[in-house]
Structure 1
Amino acid sequence: MQITVEGREVFAATGGRPFDPALPCVLLVHGAGMDHSVWALQSRYLAHRGRAVLAVDLPGHGRSDGEALTAISDLADWLIALLDALGVGQAALAGHSMGALACLSAAARHPQRLRALALLGVAPKMPVHPDLLALAAADDHKALELIDDWAHGPRAHLGGHPAAGTWLLGGGERLLERARPGVLHRDLAACDTYADGPADATRVRCPTRLILGADDKMTPAKAGRKLADMIEGAAVATIPSCGHMMMTEQPDATLDALKRTV
């Protein structure tokens, strides 16, 4: 589905069903250097069960035009602009990693626009090592390799996907390779400089669930639980044998947790 947002063409997958703004809307937001495809299973399930799904490509990512935004607060406001472009008053927002920070910020900045919030692979602060930032700034392939390695848990390094023949690490690396030059660095820098997580968490007013990987090395589950403690009434689902990329590592368990919220 093509949408015009702030004068730019934006792509959002709708889970195989036409987008109907009269249905409860679910906006799915990907992480750094990625695109809508990380939500393939979850978006299709929700779209065929009474939800209007938007698995969006953020600006400069995937099939969307424009430049990647450089601040989490700008991403948050852009998500609301996307809803405005479609005439959607309220939506459930679900974000992964950088996308989770954007959704958290949106919930704090625009509380009246969210009916529910799901945060996947998230922590109150998500600093990025200077060496990784430097590699990403140079568009060095080593940055992709490091992220792909750290993002997947031990089970994924040995196989472990329920779909036979699916190579989780290879697929993750190919996805990062599709990002345009400079996009990964902009995304990582946005995560690194976002310092408002604790303050934004106290401003969330909608039902919220954090979905965490027990083996996540990028945003450890204990850090995610600290964020949950800052959000009034937040629930936590921790997925065993799962790293940072829960949507692909443990797609069914991720969906089970997600559908209880959105």
Structure 2
Amino acid sequence: MSSPTVAIDPQSTSRFVDTPKFRIHYYEAGQGHPLVLLHGSGPGATGWSNFQSNIAHLAQTNRVIAVDMPGWGRSDTQTAETGYDHPSALIDLLDALGLSRAALVGNSLGGTTAVEVAHRAPERVSHLITMGVPFPGQNYYSAGNGPSEGQKVLEEAYRQPTAENMKRLVSIMCFDPKWATDELAELRSAAASEHTEHLESYLKRPLPRPYFSLQPQQLREINVPTLAIHGRDDRVVSYENSLRLVSTLPDSRLLLLNRCGHWAQIEHADEFNRVTAQFVAQA
């Protein structure tokens, strides 16, 4: 039987570390094999807002590091000079923290970062867990004829980060409206307002999207144990993306959740926490 979950707050777990290009903020709790939690995109996304339902539970068995990636939260932003290379930034973070190997757990954009690192530096990745990850092919970040419904709302929230747009953003991320709380919308709104330079950086980023560049043959080379988790009702990134992932990566499996949107770690926190801890312990 696992021990009771210890209450963890964002102040006591807050940390900073300097890497060659960025000062990166993260939240840290627990001991054991490291789990690096990587948030998705969207204005106001942070390691805490994405994973506040998971950190305390996972920290019972593992050293948990929930990162504000460059361009988000309290970390430095990205510019044309620094580039928009999240995988390199993550490898630099692992080096700065003295982590030779870690399990990477990535939601959406964070999932693409994790997949890229698993290809570039497989010796640094013990396990790969993705939630709602976009994966190249048909309906990649789209609805087949343009951006997905959720992606349109996300982009509008970047252009106009009003309270109303933040509420629309958290609502479209969830299947059940009860999870799209005013508190979560306010948390993301406050984070976005505190660092408007991140919003400007995102809107100035080069197109096509700079965060994922692997080709199909490169993806087939990834042999890290992989668990893809996806919501059947995801309106941001269709679950077909994770079907392609597990049909491409040789050592992978899929957990498809009904009545679940883009945030499996929030809407189905208990199941997400349980299967993540078990996968890392056993795989």
TM-score bin, normalised by smaller chain: 0.7 to 0.9
Q: After TM superposition, which residue ranges in structure 1, 4 or more long, deviate above 6 angstroms?
A: 69-73
2:33 matched to 1:24? yes
Q: Aligned equivalents of 2:225 and 2:278: distance in 1?
A: 10
**Relative to 1, partners in 2 of residues 1:73 and 1:237: Cα closer, same or farther, differing over 3 Å?**
farther
Whole-Å Cα distance in 2 between the matches of residues 31 and 80 of structure 1? 18
User: Unmatched 5+ residue regions in structure 1?
Assistant: 160-166
Q: Normalising to structure 2: TM-score of the pair?
A: 0.75
Per the alignment, do residues 210 and 133 of structure 1 end up closer, same or farther by CA in structure 2, a change over 3 Å counting? closer
2:132 matches 1:121: yes
CA deviation after TM superposition for structure 1 residue 73, in Å = 7.1
Q: Aligned partners of 1:243, 1:94: CA distance in 2, in Å?
A: 17
Is 1:173 the counterpart of 2:220 in the alignment? no
Verify the 8 A CA contact 1:25 1:53 in the aligned structure 2: yes
Query: Which residue, 198, 206, 211 being the options, matches 1:183?
Result: 198
The Cα shift of 1:26 comes to 1.0
Which residue of 54, 65, 70 corresponds with 1:42? 54
Shift of 1:252: 0.6
Which residue of the partner structure matches residue 162 of structure 1? none
- Percent of residue pairs identical: 24
Q: Secondary structure at the match of 2:250?
A: coil
Q: 1:76-102 deviations in whole A, cap 9, x for unaligned?
A: 111111010011111110100110011
Change (3 A) 1:241 1:136: closer
Deviation sequence 1:148-168 (CA, Å, 0-9, x none): 232111xx21x2xxxxxxx53
Aligned counterparts, 1:130-149, within 5 A: 135-136=156-157, 138-141=159-162, 144-149=166-171
Q: Which residue type is aligned with residue 172 of structure 2? A: W
Q: CA–CA distance in 2 between the matches of 1:118 and 1:192? A: 25
Which residue in 2 is equivalent to 1:164? none
The answer for the alignment partner of 2:95 in structure 1 is 84
The answer (yes or no) to whether the contact 2:26–2:47 under 8 Å persists in 1 is yes
Tell me how far 1:14 sits from its aligned partner.
1.5
Q: Distance in 2 between matches of 1:191 and 1:36?
A: 25
Q: Does 1:150 align with 2:161?
A: no
Q: Aligned residues, how many?
A: 245
The one-letter code of the counterpart of 1:183 is: H
Q: Distance in 1 between matches of 2:170 and 2:208?
A: 18
Change (3 A) 1:185 1:136: farther
> What do residues 178-221 of structure 1 show as CA deviations (whole Å, max 9, x unaligned)?
22325357558689623536455323121000011121111122
Task: Return the match for 1:62 from 73, 78, 103.
Answer: 73
Whether the 8 Å contact between 1:115 and 1:207 is mirrored in structure 2 is: yes
RMSD, aligned CA: 2.9
Equivalent of residue 256 in structure 1, options 271, 274, 277:
274
- Checking the alignment, whether the CA contact within 8 Å between 1:152 and 1:169 is kept in structure 2 is no
Q: Which residue of 2 aligns with 1:11?
A: 25
